[in-house]
Chain A
Amino acid sequence: MRNGINSRNILKKKWSLYGKEDMMGKALVLLSGGVDSTTCLHMAIKKYGASNVSAFNVSYGQKAQKEIDCAKYTCNKFGIQFYEMDLSQVFQFSNCYIVSGKDEIINKDNEEQSKSGEWSSGNGGYVPFRNGVFASVGAAIAWSIYPNEEVEIVLGSQYNDIFNADTTPEFCRKMSDAMQQGTFGKITLWAPISEMSKDEVIRTGLSLGVEYDHTWSCYRNSEKPCHKCGSCIDRENSFRKLGLVDPLCKE
């Protein structure tokens, strides 16, 4: 559960490139291993310093084990503790297709799905209100691993996701209020990319040294991305907008 402590010293030097380590407080980042959350991890490291950052992952039966491997890679690289929590059993209600057990993966981009209403019903690619649960799980973990400290739970919800009600900037503000009230004012929510588009996220990440070849977005769990699911299409388009090729598409 605790990875890569030994690589910390090597990386200390590297950190001066990204910013000072004098920000008070700690950050606990929800890290899936995808583009958004990996970028958020780097933003948290810049703000707080790697030694004040931890990451956690909540698995709820997603298909892509590859994503977790990417998350572990990044944590290892920076000597960051990675807390994994398997909540697939309590998400058994979900009938959405990201969760294992349902085979059809719809080859449409995300926006198209939102228009057709597949998301809002909970039958699309989304477990409704999951970010509320993830943020709450983060608060519970943060209280335990950083007792009596001020902690920001970092959530990589992002503008492209705006059609999911629990990723809007409005929701993030309300959720942060609730977390602050419920933890003696110690724990808040930070959603640093909530108002960025995905290409802006990638641009920010590149300036912070994110290795996007070690992130995974595809809903399928094969060796290479499928290039067909909504998540792949979004990602590849965003790189294209920056005049770049997704490193996972390079041969």
Chain B
Amino acid sequence: MMKILVLMSGGVDSTVLLYQAVDRVGVNNVIALNLFYGQKHKVEIDSARWQCEHLGVELIEADLSKVFVYNKNCSSLLAESKNNEISTYVPYRNGLFLSYACVVAMQIGCDELHYGANSNDCASNIYPDCTEEFVNAQSWAIYQGSGKKIKMRAPFNLLKKNEIVKKGIKLGMTKEEFSHTWSCYTGGEKPCGVCSTCIERKNAFSENGIIGID
């Protein structure tokens, strides 16, 4: 049976991706990988843990925050950041995540690596490491560099957030399961409700008739 490694942040997109992988190949053939990069919003790791425990999926966690120590003054997402500007680009973070995920996938014998970039991320130029061009280039690099063993897939890269939520509902995800996902960029106990990702998330839920989740 095919084995899938899912890059799992704990946000909505990667959570639906995890449910989809489990639906395809069964819980025993899916492994989730959560990577810490020094972000303020550690709550999303709790979400990833909750989901994996809930589904019975093995979760691997690794800390890559050392790589970004020289970046203190650049990205406002990092806990160490002194920057108040809206600059949420963490340099080449997703590229590093995917490359590291490929190492893990090879070590544990996975065939596919799933990445939850969505079309909003892909279309915007805010995050160059989410674009379709990047996804294509990175998947080629992974395919070549793994001796053609690992196929990287970003199955949501043409879907909008509301379509991803819809997909989750189709896979049987309940309101409670959706509530254990985290999107907000701020480091609070509860989502701020006003940042771009909070608003996008709320709209995606309400368009699918899910009311009452922050």
Task: Write the residues of chain A forming the contact surface with B, with a CB cutoff of 8 angstroms.
Answer: 83, 85-87, 89-91, 93-95, 120, 122, 127-133, 135-137, 139-145, 147, 165-166, 168, 170-171, 174-175, 177-184, 187
Q: Contacts A120-B147, A133-B96: A128 and B106 contacting too (C-beta < 8 A)?
A: yes
B92 touches A182 (CB 8 A): yes
Tell whether A141 pairs with B67 under 8 Å between CB atoms, given A130-B103, A132-B141: yes
Q: List 12 A-B contacts (CB under 8 A).
A: A89-B63, A90-B62, A127-B103, A128-B106, A129-B99, A129-B150, A133-B96, A140-B92, A165-B147, A174-B145, A177-B140, A187-B92
A-B contact count (CB 8 A): 138
From B70, B129, B140, B144, contact of A182 by CB (8 A):
B129
Residue of B nearest to A93 (CB): B107
CB distance from A136 to the nearest CB of B (A): 4
Residues of B within 8 A of A93 (CB): 103-104, 107-108
Which B50-103 residues have C-beta < 8 A from chain A?
62-64, 66-68, 70-71, 74, 90-96, 98-100, 102-103
Tell me if A's interface is mostly helix, strand, loop or mixed. Answer: helix
- Chain A residues near B106: list those with CB within 8 A: 122, 128-129
Residues of B within 8 A of A178 (CB): 95, 134, 137-138, 140-141
Asked whether A137 and B74 contact (CB < 8 A) given A120-B147, A129-B146, A178-B141, the answer is no
CA distance A132 to B139 in the complex (A): 12
Cβ contact within 8 Å between A166 and B145 = yes
Find the A residue at minimum CB distance from B96: A136
Query: Which has the most chain A C-beta neighbours within 10 Å: B70, B94, B102, B140?
Result: B70
Report B-chain residues with C-beta under 8 Å of the C-beta of A184.
128
Contact of A129 with B66 at beta-carbon distance under 8 Å, contacts A139-B92, A144-B91, A165-B148 already known = no
